[in-house]
Amino acid sequence: MKQSMEYRPMHLDDGGAELPEELKALVEVMAERVHDEWAQARFDAGWSYGPERNDALKQHPCLVPYSELPEEERLYDRKTAMATLGLIRSLGYKISKE
């Protein structure tokens, strides 16, 4: 695959808006789901758990349940969830729990 030198990822400017309290619990649920989707894609591609990342052997130390991830990795998934919620809100959608 050819890499473009012109590509610049689009950054969402949400004005630094804080998520409402009722959405904060949703962040953790979404973060766990993000991890599960990532892990399933790895498993489907033939990867398995390994104590250290090894691309040749297709082993990765984060192929564990979300609750067993190091905090640094959970934070990465939370940021993805928060960015997704921020995008949804910035586009004018409202999220509510029934």
Q: What is the CATH number of the domain that holds 32?
A: 1.10.490.160
User: Please, are residues 90 and 79 in contact by the beta-carbon 8 Å criterion?
Assistant: no
CA–CA separation, 19 and 87 (whole Å): 11
Boundaries of domain holding 40: 22-85
16 within some domain: no
Q: How many CB atoms lie within 10 A of CB 19?
A: 16
**36 inside domain:** yes
Instruction: Report the alpha-carbon distance of residue 14 to residue 35 in Å, rounded.
Output: 24
| Averaged pLDDT of the chain | 89
Which residues, in sequence order, are bridge partners of residue 49?
Answer: 60
Question: How many domains does the chain contain in total?
Answer: 1
Report yes or no on 4 lying in a domain: no
Q: How much of the chain exceeds pLDDT 70, in percent?
A: 90
Per the domain annotation, does 14 fall within a domain? Answer: no
Query: Does 45 map to a domain?
Result: yes
Structure confidence by residue, pLDDT tens digits, 23-66: 888 999 999 999 999 999 999 999 999 999 999 999 999 999 99
